[in-house]
């Protein structure tokens, strides 16, 4: 069995560690901060999970991810995936909606079509405007992101993995006998294989191996207080949703954090992951408040919770999942481009296969490093 280090204990790293430890490898997870910290990308109570994509490639991959989430939830013995259904809407013949219908149909994913009147009857707290239409995916919902990360790490540890918190990797030196990792504080670790899942810190960490055109951006979201009873926005009565024409999206009340989350999938300001402006400003809140007024009747403008999070964007918004050029012992998973949490269990599975030289049952040239230099 191989000695394998997993660099980064976010969504991807924690998932890879669980698979590798379960298969009996000698696994060490190295995390620069505390596990489930809020400085990277995987912290919080909600991330949308859906098969609804405009691009059928991702719809197909999600078909493989859903059973892995179910398995994680069973092993963890706690609720991780809230199956609320998801409404994905925009002007009825908007190109994104047309592409969604095609991708779902081609992949055999059932969906319903809701017009504004049908939406008002079913989800009175979500308003479609005249001329808009919604595609409802029953199997969509949200993942309790922090709980998923913690469950993966707990299960990895139960299978024998070591999780080293507050242990930053400062140097990576491949040699003939293995890969030596220089750790903060002067310690070092020798392993046979390495998975790099460092999220927003990836490009800087790997700059001596590869030039990665990743852009780290500052993203914000707000939870707004309902005017009336919060139950009107509960997961039983309110779906996850995305407005595909404007890229606003949101969640039901998740039962853990206060209020109802609304966010905007629009690329934020580029930032250094170690110097992020973590305060929200009126300019961050204003577009969310305006959108809320138009589409979310019964949701007040009062903010119950607000937060900054980071995206790591690739130029084409496809992920990177590939060994480093000339160094097959190091597998990189990164550039999740703001839509990757729902895939983290699958990407962890794939990274674990790659790191142990097992066959990956999909052609993943879309995720290659080579495509970034073409």
Give residues in contact with ligand FAD (CB under 6 A).
Answer: 7-13, 30-33, 40-42, 47-48, 168-169, 197-201, 205, 219, 221, 263, 309-311, 336, 338-342, 344
Contact 218, 106 (CB under 8 A): no
Shortest spacing between CB 231 and ligand FAD, in angstroms? 23
Nearer to ligand FAD, 133 or 167 (CB): 167
Least gap, CB of 121 to ligand FAD (angstroms): 26
Whichever of 38 and 115 has its CB closer to ligand FAD, that residue is 38
Question: Hey, what are 141's tokens?
Answer: 């919902």
Contacts of 345 (CB under 8 A, 6+ apart): 15, 65, 68, 69, 72, 148
Whether the CA torsion 40, 317, 63, 7 is positive or negative: it is: negative
Task: Report the candidate in 4, 7, 5 with the shortest Cα–Cα distance to residue 198.
Answer: 7
Residue closer to ligand FAD, measured from CB, 221 or 244: 221
Tell me how far, at minimum, the Cβ of 117 lies from ligand FAD, in Å.
28
How many C-beta neighbours within 10 Å does residue 55 have? 14
By DSSP bridging, strand 188-191 and strand 3-7 are unpaired
Considering the complex, state which of residue 1 and residue 190 has its C-beta at the smaller distance from ligand FAD: 190
Q: Which is nearer to ligand FAD, 132 or 284 (CB)?
A: 284
Gap between the Cα atoms of 148 and 139, Å rounded? 18
Q: Which is nearer to ligand FAD, 274 or 282 (CB)?
A: 274
Minimum CB–partner distance for residue 205 and ligand FAD (Å): 5
Q: What own/partner pairs with CB < 8 Å and gap ≥ 24 does 325-328 have? A: 325/209, 325/210, 325/369, 327/174, 327/209
Q: How far is the CB of 42 from ligand FAD (least distance, A)?
A: 3
> Closer CB to ligand FAD, residue 121 or residue 272?
272
d(CA 297, CA 263): 16
Token pair recorded at residue 171: 């140097």
In 183-315, which ranges are continuous DSSP H helix?
A: 202-205, 282-295
Smallest gap from residue 49 Cβ to ligand FAD (A): 7
In the block, residue with structure tokens 């779906």: 239
- Closest CB 336 distance from ligand FAD, rounded Å: 3
Compute the CA torsion angle 305, 308, 309, 315 (nearest 10 deg).
130
Closest CA to 263 of 318, 300, 224, 205: 224
Closest separation in Å from C-beta 66 to ligand FAD: 13
Q: Which residues contact 357 (CB under 8 A, 6 or more apart)?
A: none
Tell me whether residue 229 or residue 276 sits nearer to ligand FAD (CB atom): 276
Tell me the residue nearest to ligand FAD as measured from the CB. 10
């Amino acid at each position: 069995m191989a000695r394998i280090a997993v660099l980064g204990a976010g969504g991807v790293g924690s998932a890879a560690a669980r698979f590798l430890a379960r298969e009996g490898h000698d696994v060490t997870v190295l995390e620069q901060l505390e596990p489930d910290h809020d400085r990277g990308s995987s912290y919080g109570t909600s991330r949308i999970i859906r098969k609804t994509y405009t691009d059928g490639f991702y719809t197909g991959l999600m078909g493989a991810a859903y059973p892995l989430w179910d398995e994680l939830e069973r092993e963890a013995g706690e609720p991780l995936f809230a199956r609320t259904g998801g409404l994905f809407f925009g002007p009825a013949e908007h190109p994104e909606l047309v592409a969604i219908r095609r991708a779902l149909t081609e992949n055999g994913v059932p969906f319903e079509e809701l017009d504004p009147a049908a939406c008002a009857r079913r989800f009175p707290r979500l308003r479609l405007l005249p001329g808009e239409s919604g595609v409802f995916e029953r199997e969509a919902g949200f993942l309790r992101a922090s709980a998923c990360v913690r469950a993966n790490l707990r299960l990895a540890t139960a299978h024998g993995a070591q999780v080293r918190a507050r242990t930053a990797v400062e140097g990576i030196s491949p040699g003939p006998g293995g890969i030596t990792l220089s750790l903060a504080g002067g310690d070092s670790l020798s392993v046979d294989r390495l998975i790099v899942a460092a999220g927003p810190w990836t490009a800087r960490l790997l700059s001596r191996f590869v030039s990665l055109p990743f852009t780290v951006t500052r993203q914000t979201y707000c939870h707004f207080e309902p005017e009336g009873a919060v139950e009107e926005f509960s997961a039983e009565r309110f779906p996850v949703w995305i407005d595909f024409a404007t890229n606003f999206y949101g969640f039901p009340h998740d039962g853990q954090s206060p209020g109802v989350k609304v966010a905007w999938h629009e690329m934020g300001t580029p930032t250094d992951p170690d110097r992020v402006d973590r305060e929200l400003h009126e300019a961050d809140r204003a577009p969310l408040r305006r959108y809320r007024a138009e589409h979310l009747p019964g949701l007040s403008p009062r903010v119950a919770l607000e937060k900054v999070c980071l995206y790591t964007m690739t130029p084409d918004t496809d992920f990177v999942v590939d060994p480093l050029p000339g160094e097959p012992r190091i597998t990189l998973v990164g550039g999740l481009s703001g839509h990757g949490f729902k895939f983290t269990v699958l990407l962890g599975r794939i990274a674990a296969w790659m790191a142990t030289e097992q066959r990956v049952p999909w052609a993943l040239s879309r995720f290659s490093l080579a495509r970034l230099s073409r």
